[in-house]
């Protein structure tokens, strides 16, 4: 909007959910630490924030938070052992995650919903616009979304959400947005939001996915937002108030994402993410693809 606005530099990553869809794997380990090929899902998310120019990262953690903090911290014992062996390649991999960004942590005592998790970021964020990246939502690094959202926020002000068209029978799994075109191919104006509607009640098939660039006005709205669907404080309900103008922090625009995205908190999507990313890796891909081709052929021939 104006050139004097501060550049967005802070990313908030909520990672305090219970991860019940992935039990028992998530009984003692946060779902964000589950490996996607050979990196925990959360590292892709932090890398995405850094690639969009946000290197101040606040993670909202809950129970079992230790592995998350440890992953982004130094591990001197391991580093020394690899150093002694002269294994520079693996040493670099170990150091990569601790050198990525300036990491901060705050604990969400009770997982009272995504809206409540975002509210826990208020003291750290202050009065600047900031980004929210869900820790279990993986956007393929080759399909940049966040950088475009930051650009749209700088252009239009207010708040920006990420939208993706889904099959109508899938919309009940997402927040859903009613939108108006504004003459840009990948940007729309959001006119209404509803959390996980039945197919018949959904205003569109635009699903809200886990990236947001928010005006700090959202915090005041969240403080007033009552628990909604599932007894949780929903970010969608707070955003709906920004849309209707009853809270400072609007207007709300949506960036329509057409790239590859995986919900690593969902078992099927998690498996698809691993297969796809493994196939495309230079080191693992050729051998893995050949095996996968043989496997699929055998499966198709099976009675």
Identify the helix (H) or strand (E) that includes residue 97: helix 88-98
Q: How far is 152 from 161, CA to CA, in rounded Å?
A: 10
Residue 250 near ligand UTP by CB under 6 A: no
Least separation in angstroms between CB 247 and ligand UTP? 21
Q: Which residues contact 300 (CB under 8 A, 6 or more apart)?
A: none
Q: How far is 179 from 149, CA to CA, in rounded Å?
A: 16
What sign does the CA torsion over 275, 99, 28, 232 have?
Answer: negative
Q: Which residues contact 16 (CB under 8 A, 6 or more apart)?
A: 60, 61, 62, 63, 65, 107, 108, 111, 117
Applying CB under 6 A, which of residues 34, 49, 59, 60 lies at the interface with ligand UTP? 60
Residue 114 near ligand UTP by CB under 6 A: yes
Residue 116 near ligand UTP by CB under 6 A: yes
Least separation in angstroms between CB 278 and ligand UTP? 23
For ligand UTP, which stretch binds (CB under 6 A), given 83-91, 109-117, 214-222, 246-254? 109-117
Q: Which residue is nearest to ligand UTP (CB)?
A: 17
Query: Which pair of structure tokens corresponds to residue 88?
Result: 């520079």
Given the complex with ligand UTP, which of 63 and 74 has the nearer CB atom?
Answer: 63
Q: How far is 61 from 12, CA to CA, in rounded Å?
A: 11
Given the complex with ligand UTP, which of 163 and 278 has the nearer CB atom?
Answer: 163
Given the complex with ligand UTP, which of 175 and 247 has the nearer CB atom?
Answer: 175
Residue 117 near ligand UTP by CB under 6 A: yes
If phi > 0 it is left, if psi is from -120 to 50 it is alpha, else beta; for residue 86 that is: left
Least separation in angstroms between CB 266 and ligand UTP? 8
Given the complex with ligand UTP, which of 26 and 278 has the nearer CB atom?
Answer: 26
Given the complex with ligand UTP, which of 117 and 138 has the nearer CB atom?
Answer: 117
Residue 124 near ligand UTP by CB under 6 A: no
Residue 40 near ligand UTP by CB under 6 A: no
Q: How far is 256 from 186, CA to CA, in rounded Å?
A: 5
Cβ atoms within 10 Å, residue 28: 9
Applying CB under 6 A, which of residues 2, 3, 4, 20 lies at the interface with ligand UTP? 20
Residue 15 near ligand UTP by CB under 6 A: yes
Determine the angle formed by the axes of helices 76-85 and 88-98, rounding to 10 degrees: 160
Subset of residues 130 to 189 that bind ligand UTP, contact rule: CB under 6 A: 134-136
Binding site for ligand UTP (CB under 6 A): 14-22, 60, 108, 111-114, 116-117, 134-136, 265
């Amino acid at each position: 909007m104006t050139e004097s606005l501060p550049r967005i530099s802070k990313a908030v990553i909520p990672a305090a959910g219970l991860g019940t869809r992935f039990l028992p794997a998530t009984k003692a380990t946060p779902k964000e630490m589950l490996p996607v090929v050979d990196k925990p899902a959360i590292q892709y998310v932090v890398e995405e924030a850094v690639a969009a120019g946000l290197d101040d990262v606040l993670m909202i953690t809950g129970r079992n938070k230790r592995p998350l903090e440890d992953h982004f911290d130094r591990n001197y014992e391991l580093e020394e052992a690899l150093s002694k062996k002269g294994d520079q390649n693996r040493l670099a991999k170990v150091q990569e995650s601790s050198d990525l960004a300036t990491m901060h942590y705050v604990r969400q005592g009770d997982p009272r919903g995504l809206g409540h998790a975002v509210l826990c970021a208020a003291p750290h964020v202050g009065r600047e616009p900031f980004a929210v990246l869900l820790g279990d939502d993986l956007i393929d690094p080759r399909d940049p979304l966040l950088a475009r959202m930051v650009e749209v926020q700088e252009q239009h002000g207010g708040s920006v959400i990420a939208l993706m068209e889904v099959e109508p029978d899938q919309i009940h799994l997402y927040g859903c947005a009613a939108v108006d075109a504004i003459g840009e191919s990948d940007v729309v104006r959001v006119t209404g939001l509803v959390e996980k509607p039945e197919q018949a009640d959904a205003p569109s098939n635009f699903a809200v996915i886990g990236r947001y660039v928010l005006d700090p006005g959202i915090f005041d709205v969240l403080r007033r937002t009552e628990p909604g669907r599932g007894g949780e404080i929903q970010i969608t309900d707070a955003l709906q108030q920004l849309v209707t103008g009853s809270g400072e922090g609007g207007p709300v625009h949506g960036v329509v994402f057409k790239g590859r995205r995986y919900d690593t908190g969902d078992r099927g999507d998690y498996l698809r993410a691993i297969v796809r990313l493994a196939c495309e890796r230079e080191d693992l891909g050729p051998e893995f693809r050949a095996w996968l081709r043989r496997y699929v052929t055998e499966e198709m021939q099976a009675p």
